[in-house]
Copies of this chain bind each other. A is one copy, B any other.
Amino acid sequence: MWSKQRFLPTFSQVGIISQMGVNSMVIHYPNGQSYRPLTNSKYEKKPRSTKNEKIIFGNRGMSLEDELNASNEYYLKNQQAVIHKKPVPIQIVQVDYPKRSAAVIKEAYFKQASTTDYNGVYKGYYLDFEAKETRNQTSFPLNNFHSHQVKHMQACVQQGGICFTIIKFSSTQELFLLPAAVLFRYWEKRTTNRKSIPKKVISSQGFPINYEYQPLIPYLTKVDLLIEELK
């Protein structure tokens, strides 16, 4: 059912994809993967194997960031939540103002973000989270975080915000929502103890998220569980 729907995208889906192509610039800095637009060319070149292979629903050419942006757009359109990715912070050095055309930034540098990437409001709660992808198979390395990001999440939790990380294991396409409390515990012991969170801990103390049709990453259903715990 899923794969049929993928090749007959709905109007709104086409809208999201084309908007992404025009408006959003995916920045991979400095050594990230390059952006691959959603395309069926892979399947056109080589017919799908008829062997009994496992069908993986996510990551058909989309990065975790693209998947989350599409999911957040769905949530916004359906008035379920207002969550946005923050723009990449830039230090602008030189700007040209040509006559009769838009200002051009001629020299600028990437700055280190002082917060997490995503935040917003859902059912009156402040949500704040990072999205991280790893190729590791058995654990999630803590060097994926900067200390100011963890500090920021700690400050948000202290103010009553709900913080977490969405972790994707690329090799298996598995997704988890990991509550910030688990991250904090491993973060504090990273100098004396291990420098990563075991996948076993992530799957037992976090919440697995399955890819769905719409939204692609239905993470708010897991946030509902975090809200239940707060009550």
Binding site for B on A (CB under 8 A): 23, 25, 27, 29-30, 76, 79, 81-82, 84, 86-92, 95, 97, 102-111, 113-115, 119-126, 128, 152, 155-156, 158-161
The answer to whether A104 touches B97, judged by C-beta atoms less than 8 angstroms apart, is no
Of B25, B86, B109, which contacts A103 at CB under 8 A?
A: B109
A79: chain B residues within 8 A (beta carbon): 155, 158
Listed by A's residue number, 9 A-B pairs whose Cβ atoms lie within 8 Å are A82-B155, A87-B111, A88-B90, A103-B109, A106-B107, A119-B119, A124-B161, A125-B126, A126-B126
The answer to whether B128 touches A27, judged by C-beta atoms less than 8 angstroms apart, is no
The answer to whether A161 touches B106, judged by C-beta atoms less than 8 angstroms apart, is no
Closest to A31 in B: B97
Inter-chain CA distance A86–B120, complex, in Å, is 12
The answer to whether B114 touches A105, judged by C-beta atoms less than 8 angstroms apart, is no
A88: chain B residues within 8 A (beta carbon): 87, 90, 92
Inter-chain CA distance A86–B116, complex, in Å, is 11
Inter-chain CA distance A89–B90, complex, in Å, is 9
Inter-chain CA distance A87–B92, complex, in Å, is 11
A97: chain B residues within 8 A (beta carbon): 30
Q: What distance in Å separates the Cβ of A72 from its nearest Cβ neighbour in chain B?
A: 11
The answer to whether A90 touches B108, judged by C-beta atoms less than 8 angstroms apart, is yes
Q: What distance in Å separates the Cβ of A84 from its nearest Cβ neighbour in chain B?
A: 6
Inter-chain CA distance A87–B23, complex, in Å, is 17
Of B81, B108, B123, B161, which contacts A108 at CB under 8 A?
A: B108
Inter-chain CA distance A82–B151, complex, in Å, is 11
The answer to whether B121 touches A159, judged by C-beta atoms less than 8 angstroms apart, is yes
The answer to whether B105 touches A90, judged by C-beta atoms less than 8 angstroms apart, is yes
The answer to whether A114 touches B27, judged by C-beta atoms less than 8 angstroms apart, is no
The answer to whether A156 touches B115, judged by C-beta atoms less than 8 angstroms apart, is no
Q: What distance in Å separates the Cβ of A152 from its nearest Cβ neighbour in chain B?
A: 7
A84: chain B residues within 8 A (beta carbon): 114-115
The answer to whether B121 touches A124, judged by C-beta atoms less than 8 angstroms apart, is no
- Given that A108-B105, A109-B104, A110-B102 are contacting pairs, would A159 and B119 also be in contact in the complex, using a CB cutoff of 8 Å? no
